Amino acid sequence: MSIISLALVSFLSHLLILTAQPFVYYKCFNQSGNFTNTSSYHTKLNILLSNFTSDTKIDFGFYTYSYGEDPDTVKAFGLCRGDVKPDTCRSCINNATILLLKLCPNQKEAFGYYDLCIFRSSNPSISGIYQYPDFYYAFNSNPETVNKDPDK
């Protein structure tokens, strides 16, 4: 089997795994506002997402971009687990953008994650701001580990 064939089989298997699985968790935020399919925000979101993971020089699993000017600036980031290969990471984030747009079709702010990656898009600033405790609880929802004293 050629290297190209092996790469194609690997890529397709990752794609199949990712598309067959729903998000582990996702949330659509209405308080940040909504947009229509004919708005400039929608156009800017589509432009940003169509090129989101196109920079193949990024091989460390973190993507962050913004596009447009206020009040219609679109911001987004994608992050993969450290053990995820770059091609799998890009596939995971691309699948996350597609699924999140279907699940939150008109919200200006939404996030979702698979086991391998997370994606978030937003109109308000998303850098360095802790805002959503439900995101924390989604990661730490195992009742056996929440609020346990580490010294006991």
pLDDT digits (tens, 9 = 90+) for 4-37: 554 444 555 444 544 556 788 899 988 888 999 9
Q: Say whether pLDDT at 101 is over 80.
A: yes
What amino acid is encoded at 45 in this protein?
Answer: L
Q: What are phi and psi of 46, to 5 degrees?
A: -65, -40
45 pLDDT band, cuts 50/70/90, is very high
Q: Say whether pLDDT at 132 is over 90.
A: no
Q: Say whether pLDDT at 141 is over 70.
A: no
Spatial distance between the Cα atoms of 121 and 110, rounded to a whole number of angstroms = 6
Average pLDDT over residues 42-65: 90
Residue located via tokens 């699993």: 61
User: 3-state DSSP call for residue 135?
Assistant: helix
- Sheet strands (E) in 1-152: 25-34, 62-67, 74-80, 107-113, 117-122
What amino acid is encoded at 9 in this protein?
Answer: V
Domains detected in the chain = 23-139 (3.30.430.20)
* Interacting residues of 45 by C-beta distance below 8 A, sequence separation 6+: 35, 67, 74, 121
